[in-house]
Amino acid sequence: MHEIGEYIVKSSNGICKIEDIVHLNFSGADKKALYYVLIPVNDDKEKIYMPTETENQSVRKIMSSEEAMELIIHIPDVNEIWVANEKVREQRYKEAVRSNNPVELIGIIKLIYTRKKKRLDKGKKTTAIDEKYFRIAEERLYSELEISLHKSKEEVHKLIEQYRENDN
């Protein structure tokens, strides 16, 4: 069971802070069950109630600072998640976001970045789907790194660039 004040990654909502653990008094709610009161970090006005009993692969603790640094160091080693079929690609993007796996998010970000660069070189625009999932994947990854490392988004960007430049 997670604790109040802890940050978790919820596949459908991204990073959330556990504000409380309560019994609900709503009609239709199991009054004996305990629920996490979650506040998404990207929308502090929203509250999500999640039964403590339903914890599964869609929820995990955020990375420790050590895990976050290890991930950043190994970003150059992460392969793009290539999907040649346009129709299957969006499904793969969705799976990567739902996976709650930072390495999968990096793979998607790298793929979309490469696709965007190639399209711009040909005078084409980025596809709306690529743009959408790039934003989602980057937001999820950077939010977790910011919290894990206690750094701003700009500091996380600089840190990633520093390791990327050292790899070249």
User: E strands within the chain?
Assistant: 7-10, 14-23, 34-40, 48-51, 59-61
117 and 148 in a common domain:
yes
The pLDDT tens digits for 1-21 are 889 999 999 878 889 999 999
Which pLDDT band holds residue 166 (cuts at 50, 70, 90)? low
**What percent of the chain has pLDDT above 70?**
96
pLDDT of residue 43: 86
The pLDDT tens digits for 81-95 are 888 787 888 899 998
What is the C-alpha to C-alpha distance for residues 34 and 52, in angstroms, rounded to an integer?
6
Choose the final residue of a domain: 18, 38, 61.
Answer: 61
Residues whose CB falls within 8 Å of the CB of residue 7, separated by 6 or more in sequence, listed in order:
15, 16, 17, 18, 41, 61, 62, 147
Choose the final residue of a domain: 17, 42, 61.
Answer: 61
Q: What is the DSSP letter of 8?
A: E
pLDDT of residue 142: 93
The pLDDT tens digits for 123-146 are 999 999 999 999 999 999 999 999
* Other Cβ atoms closer than 10 A to 142: 19
102 and 135 in a common domain:
yes
Computed over every residue of the chain, the mean pLDDT equals 89
Does residue 131 fall inside a structural domain?
yes
Print the domain residue range for 57.
7-61
What is the C-alpha to C-alpha distance for residues 21 and 43, in angstroms, rounded to an integer?
19
Structure tokens at 84: 């040649």
Backbone angles phi, psi at 3, to 5 degrees: -115, 155
Which pLDDT band holds residue 57 (cuts at 50, 70, 90)? low
163 and 143 in a common domain:
yes
